[in-house]
Amino acid sequence: MKKLLVTGSAGFIGFHLVKRLMDKGYNIVGVDSLSDYYDVRLKKSRLDELDKYHSEKSPETGSLYRFIKLDISDKEPLFELFKSERFNYVFHLAAQAGVRYSLKNPQSYIDSNIQGFFNILEACRKYMPEHLIFASSSSVYGLNGQLPFSASHHTDHPVSLYAATKKANEMMAHSYAHLFGIPTTGLRFFTVYGPWGRPDMAYFSFTRKIFAGEPIEVYNNGDLMRDFTYIDDIVNAVALLTDKAPAENPSFNTLSPDPSLSSAPYRLFNIGNNSPVRLMNFIQVLEEITRIKAKKTFKPMQPGDVYTTYADIDDLADYVGFRPVTSLETGLKQFVEWYKGYTPLIYQNTEH
């Protein structure tokens, strides 16, 4: 049975990915530091749900799953875990998230996204997995105005420290793939949403405030475009990539290098919905689903934000046949239904 590590397994994407991989019958170890960036009770509830899901699924699939509380910025226990488990696949999703929070607590991004990822790379160098898959972000596109965003575009102008750390991750991963032959795939996620999501994300905050009768904060008068991508589409794409580790490419064009490719065993992909939605239209769909008219407070563009995200996913479609299948209406309805039924927590305002 193949052994998998999923870092950030108590996080939004990590939680859903572990469930998806359980269905495939893998031996999975999930790690997470359970940081308090947002309500830890939600993270613990995800872990409880994984335990429940595993107890129901393991007889059917033969999968094994366990969770370890571990901070990836702490090198020694991380190396001990790699040494004892000898993972076949490493899915690195743990990170300090959030664009606006990076203006308030930049050190946390260096500790987790730089030091933590360095430790993952070093562990992979010493205990070579068959494939390292790591999370990047659409934020790396920064000031790039060429739409749709292609992984072949250069991303040299990030507009937040969060984006800069994700760009640094891509460069660090490429250097390790080049120097040590670690088969590595980076994934730029585009505005992921869905059940069990992050409370600091706009769709979650909007839903909470709409039900509470509180005004929602609409930036740039709602004149923003986002490529909202449903969580099931995200994890399905990641699962398809598991055993599709990139190989060395001797025909790589060094005179006109494509940033998404390399002579090393390294690839970069966007994972998005390939269909951006204007923020005001997004709010309208949410109002229709909740049957409540939102109270709106309009605010200016925030530092670190970008006007539009729009993913070109043709290369991923060619590589593994991925295409998103979940409409915004369907995805938001699923989220709202989960939110209404999730009663153990009454969320306070957790925006940063």
Buried b (16+ CB within 10 A) or exposed e, 188-208: bbbbbbbbbbbbbbbbbbbbb
- Supply φ then ψ for residue 304, to 5 degrees: 95, -15
Q: What are the residues facing 219 on neighbouring strands?
A: 299
Angstrom distance (rounded) from CA 155 to CA 270: 13
Angstrom distance (rounded) from CA 192 to CA 238: 13
Q: Which residue from 23, 42, 21 is spatially nearest to 345, judged by alpha carbons?
A: 42
Q: What three-state secondary structure class fits 8?
A: coil
The DSSP-derived string for 116-171 is IHHHHHHHHHHS--SEEEEEEEGGGGTT---SSB-TTS-----SSHHHHHHHHHHH
CA angle 101/107/112 to nearest 5° reads 90
Q: Which residue from 6, 11, 3 is spatially nearest to 84, judged by alpha carbons?
A: 3
Q: Are strands 277-278 and 225-226 parallel, antiparallel or unpaired?
A: antiparallel
Angstrom distance (rounded) from CA 298 to CA 222: 8
Annotated catalytic sites, by residue?
A: 162
Q: Which residue from 28, 105, 32, 102 is spatially nearest to 65, judged by alpha carbons?
A: 28
Angstrom distance (rounded) from CA 328 to CA 193: 10
